[in-house]
């Protein structure tokens, strides 16, 4: 356990070199009291909003169009990782990205953009609809192959151009230490003697689920009872707590949890793993099952083949660098690289294996969403009845707070701010103007709306306040843009 902590710490520092340079925003303090001494300066305050508008127009006119592209790549390439930062796929992507950057394997940067959600389909759908110019790529593992079969997406690998398959993480089937099963055949014998009695802890629709499905398909009559558990740590907890009988893990997870009380029955790879020489493969034990998780790189359909080749070359070179090999060894991932015809063949082979075992329906679950809707209606009715009764019985109804000093002036301020905010978000959504100018103008406008009545009623020094607002607007937009694009690598519009 101790060792793991150390490696984890080492990882995080190696993966995020920008962390040393990370400077948290002091903006809130700086902007509150901007150093202003020009008391005599009178700014045409009344014109602030107009000034903002003209600035906006100016910048719309100036924003440059698409540059002609002949050589590739001429600008940073966006790599969409459809999982959250810090997860397995993200870590893998960043290891490769680092190698590409330190060894200058591509003339431009590879920028990782996390678009997590819905098992990777939100990110993959974005790449599917992206312009096929080689500047938007996707890193997605077996999830691409399983998504259609588990019902979470209507498309599969055919909707993309595969660039390369890199790294291979093999899975193992494991039971808790005190389990009666000593090897795969004894487990499968029990599974066919008493079908639907051995509880298989899985992440439904993910490789851990398909590992079980493939196993049972190789012995007719056998059937596991699958239960949704989640990630590796949770599956380990389920085994340890006696809530499940068997589960599958990646080798890295298995090595981590082994000392705490689990035992592998079989390795789901083509041959034994150097780190676990004593563990027989499923094939050796008479079950032709392989479950390996490979990281695949994809481009949108229609991407020029020469650009695909450029990226594949860079990836293959990155996989050969010393630091990538070291990191992958620590993560128990083999350094395989597949491309071209070999990649297509492997993809087909894997998809066939997955397609053979359509996920079984399992237990009919109640429709939780409908139950929730029912509860909501019920409580809404109860709340209404209660409010009604309270009103009738003469108890003062605390419906609307009257202590708030709302005036029509403030309501219209709010309405104006609301409209401007919606306009701002629409501008960002359709990328009409670049982020920095539109944000500065936005801050100026809503600040101006709030400032205007105060200046009118002479409650504060107009010049000072205006300069403060200007400084805040410019600082906020520039600093935020810098912070998020450079330090946090967010793909700001």
CB 139 within 8 A of CB 81: yes
Instruction: By CB under 8 A, tell whether 399 contacts another protein.
Output: yes
Cα distance between residue 301 and residue 128, in whole Å: 7
Stretch that binds another protein, among 58-66, 175-183, 287-295, 481-489 (CB under 8 A): 481-489
Positions 192 through 221 that interact with another protein (CB under 8 A): 196, 199, 204-205
In the complex, least distance from residue 345 CB atom to another protein, rounded to whole angstroms: 28
Burial of 241 (0-12, 13-18, 19+ CB in 10 A): exposed
When the beta carbons of 117 and 286 are compared against another protein, the nearer one is: 117
Pick from 141, 149, 225, 434 the residue near another protein by CB under 8 A.
Answer: 225
When the beta carbons of 88 and 165 are compared against another protein, the nearer one is: 88
CB 272 within 8 A of CB 263: no
In the complex, least distance from residue 69 CB atom to another protein, rounded to whole angstroms: 23
When the beta carbons of 36 and 317 are compared against another protein, the nearer one is: 36
Instruction: By CB under 8 A, tell whether 369 contacts another protein.
Output: yes
When the beta carbons of 182 and 192 are compared against another protein, the nearer one is: 192
CB 80 within 8 A of CB 127: yes
Full 3-state SS string of 2-48: HHHHHHHHHHHHHHCHHHCCCCCCCHHHHHHCCCCCCCCCCCCHHHH
In the complex, least distance from residue 341 CB atom to another protein, rounded to whole angstroms: 32
Q: What angle do the packed helices 322-330 and 88-102 form, to 10 degrees?
A: 160
Pick from 363, 391, 432, 482 the residue near another protein by CB under 8 A.
Answer: 363
Cα distance between residue 160 and residue 162, in whole Å: 6
Pick from 102, 421, 456, 461 the residue near another protein by CB under 8 A.
Answer: 421
Stretch that binds another protein, among 57-65, 98-106, 213-221, 446-454 (CB under 8 A): 446-454
Instruction: By CB under 8 A, tell whether 234 contacts another protein.
Output: yes
Q: Which residues of 209-219 are buried (b: 16+ CB within 10 A; e: fewer)?
A: bbbbbbbbbbb
In the complex, least distance from residue 175 CB atom to another protein, rounded to whole angstroms: 16
Binding track over 1-30 against another protein, x by CB under 8 A: xx--xx-xx--xx--x-xxx-x-xx-xxx-
Q: Give just the sign of the alpha carbon dihedral 319, 322, 327, 333.
A: positive
CB 265 within 8 A of CB 187: yes
């Amino acid at each position: 356990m101790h060792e793991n902590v150390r490696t984890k710490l080492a990882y995080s520092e190696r993966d995020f070199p920008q962390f040393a340079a990370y400077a948290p925003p002091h903006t809130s303090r700086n902007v509150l009291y901007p150093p202003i001494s020009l008391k005599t300066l009178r700014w045409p305050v009344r014109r602030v909003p107009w000034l903002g508008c003209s600035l906006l127009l100016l910048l719309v006119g100036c924003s440059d169009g698409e540059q002609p592209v002949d050589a590739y790549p001429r600008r940073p390439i966006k790599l969409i990782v459809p999982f959250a930062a810090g997860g397995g796929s993200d870590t893998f992507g960043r290891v490769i990205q680092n190698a590409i950057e330190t060894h200058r394997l591509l003339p431009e940067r590879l920028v990782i953009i996390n678009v997590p959600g819905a098992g990777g389909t939100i990110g993959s759908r974005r790449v599917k609809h992206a312009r096929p110019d080689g500047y938007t790529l996707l890193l997605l593992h077996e999830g691409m192959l399983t998504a259609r079969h588990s019902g979470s997406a209507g498309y599969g690998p055919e909707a993309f151009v595969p660039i390369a398959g890199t790294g291979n993480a093999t899975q193992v089937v494991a039971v808790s230490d005190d389990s009666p099963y000593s090897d795969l055949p004894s487990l499968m014998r029990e599974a066919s003697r008493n079908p639907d009695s051995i509880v298989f802890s899985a992440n439904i629709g993910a490789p851990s689920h398909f590992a079980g499905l493939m196993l049972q398909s190789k012995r007719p009559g056998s059937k596991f009872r699958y239960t949704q558990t989640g990630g590796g740590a949770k599956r380990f907890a389920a085994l340890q707590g006696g809530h499940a009988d068997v589960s599958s893990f990646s080798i890295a997870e298995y090595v981590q949890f082994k000392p705490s009380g689990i035992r592998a029955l079989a390795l789901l790879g083509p041959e034994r793993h150097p780190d676990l020489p004593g563990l027989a493969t499923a094939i050796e034990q008479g079950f032709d099952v392989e479950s390996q998780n490979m990281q695949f790189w994809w481009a949108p359909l229609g991407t020029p083949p020469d650009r695909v080749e450029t990226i594949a070359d860079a990836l293959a070179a990155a996989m050969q660098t010393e630091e990538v090999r070291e990191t992958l060894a620590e993560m128990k991932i083999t350094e395989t690289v597949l491309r071209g015809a070999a990649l297509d063949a492997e993809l087909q082979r894997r998809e066939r294996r997955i397609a053979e075992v359509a996920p079984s329906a399992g237990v009919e679950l109640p429709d939780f969403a409908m139950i929730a809707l029912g509860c909501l209606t019920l409580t809404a009715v109860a709340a209404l009845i209660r409010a009604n009764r309270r009103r009738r019985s003469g108890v003062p109804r605390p419906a609307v707070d009257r202590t708030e000093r709302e005036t029509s002036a403030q309501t219209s301020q709010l309405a104006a701010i609301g409209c401007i905010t919606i306009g701002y978000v629409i501008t960002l959504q359709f990328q009409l103007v670049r982020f920095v100018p539109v944000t500065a103008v936005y801050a100026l406008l809503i600040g101006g709306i709030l400032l205007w009545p105060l200046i009118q009623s002479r409650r504060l020094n107009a010049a000072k306040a205006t300069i403060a607002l200007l400084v805040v607007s410019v600082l906020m937009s520039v600093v935020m843009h810098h912070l998020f694009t450079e330090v946090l690598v967010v793909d700001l519009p």
